[in-house]
Chains A and B, each alone.
Chain A
Amino acid sequence: MKRIERDARCRVDVTLNGVERSGWCDSRTLLSDFLRQELGATGTHVGCEHGVCGACTVRVDGTAVRACLMLAVQADGQRVDTVEGLAGAQGMSALQRAFKRHHALQCGYCTPGILLSATQFLERVPQPSEQQVREMLSGHLCRCTGYTNIVRAVLDAAAERPERSRCPP
């Protein structure tokens, strides 16, 4: 049993984009605020803070979740992946390149969350239909692009990938 008093500071260790990181927070600190304010990973954006807009979506142990609906202490010991980790040594990921090609962002505020959701989605559903992509995107609000270009980018990124079987989350 791990107990954290309301006034205490506690240490949280995560593997952020493959790198061991640690920081200090309160019991009530949201994972989104911990990432931004304690670890300086400001690529994760904060929108509505009640799970509706999807801007803060990150992957925790591989699963796309709302960082504003999770306490930082709940992520202790887990792997957290954010938009900062998508690009590799070869540059941007295929999905990021497709977003650029299709002009799938304007202000970019919602984009990190969409990229993290879509990355997990394409691992689970490698050859999605347009309808499936739209359903995945329904968990995100974008006020600039009207979604059409985002759908095109995700479908284009899927078309580039080798076919893989459906796997559970």
Chain B
Amino acid sequence: MKPCAFDYVRVESVEEATALLCEHGDDARILAGGQSLMPLLNMRLASPALVVDISRVPALDYARPERDALCVGAACTQAKVEWRSDLAREVPLLALAFPHISHFQVRSRGTVCGSIAHADPSAELPLALTALGGEVVLRSARGTRTVAAGDFFQGMLSTARTAHELVEEVRFPLHRSGLGYGFAELAQRHGDFAIVACAAVAGADEIRFAVGGAGDRPRLARWPRLASADLDAALNDFAWEIDARSDPHAPAKYRRHLVRHLGRRAVEAACA
């Protein structure tokens, strides 16, 4: 299908974008890479009055380490982050997750911030951001605020962003010595949305374990380093706690099974 008619504005600065969001609110949608919004427009699941194209705002097209995080701007594509020569040293969990994110033809154009803003519960980038304890920078005409990943994702395609705000930047915490990482996913085809995906970050005293695809948003558990039997019990408890959903792809029971199975694989990889 084809999109409904809309007014289109290609902005050249962040200020132009936030001014339009301030004026039009819910009637406006931000278009960056288009890999989430364009299917919604084509299927007419979204029909905004105004599309604000930020894909050519130079000030938003960056990915750079700053202090303790890899900061990625709203116009930066997933491919640009994926192909950073130092990514496996900077944010190892992202290097593990990228091969699972759709297909390279989509990562070529899809943006990191777009995936975060879209907040599909099966998407890998929201999962990785949750597991790492990253941050989302929201900018409106009035100012800027920073939201922790755990507070940003609020439900199915639902986030803490208000209609007047732009997801300006996402911050992935940089690798620190002593941390290990694991990522495991099951999808129907390579590159499809995950039925369940698990990410783990293990330190000397703590395991951060996050699950995507099972519930309505990425969910995080924090455990001490656990012995093998205790890990099984913790995974089982968490599999029940996240309220896994049934859909045409998989019943909730199978998703719980995957949380236990893939979860163990991810945690073991992170602790290895």
Contact = CB atoms under 8 A, between A and B. Distances in A.
**Chain A residues touching B, majority SS:** mixed
B156 interface: no
A63 B109 contact: yes
Interface of A: 1-7, 26-28, 30, 33, 49-51, 54, 57, 60, 63-66, 68-71, 73-74, 117, 121, 134-136, 138-139, 168-169
26 contacts: A1-B9, A1-B16, A3-B9, A3-B10, A6-B5, A27-B7, A28-B5, A30-B2, A30-B42, A33-B2, A49-B1, A50-B39, A51-B35, A54-B105, A64-B105, A64-B108, A65-B105, A65-B109, A66-B105, A68-B42, A69-B106, A74-B31, A135-B191, A136-B103, A139-B106, A169-B108
B246 to A, nearest CB: 23
Given A49-B42, A69-B35, A138-B191, A1 B12 contact: yes
A71 B103 contact: no
B62 interface: no
B190 A138 contact: yes
A144 to B, nearest CB: 18
A1 B7 CA distance: 13
A117 B103 CA distance: 11
B186 interface: no
A19 to B, nearest CB: 23
B34 A27 contact: no
A108 B5 CA distance: 32
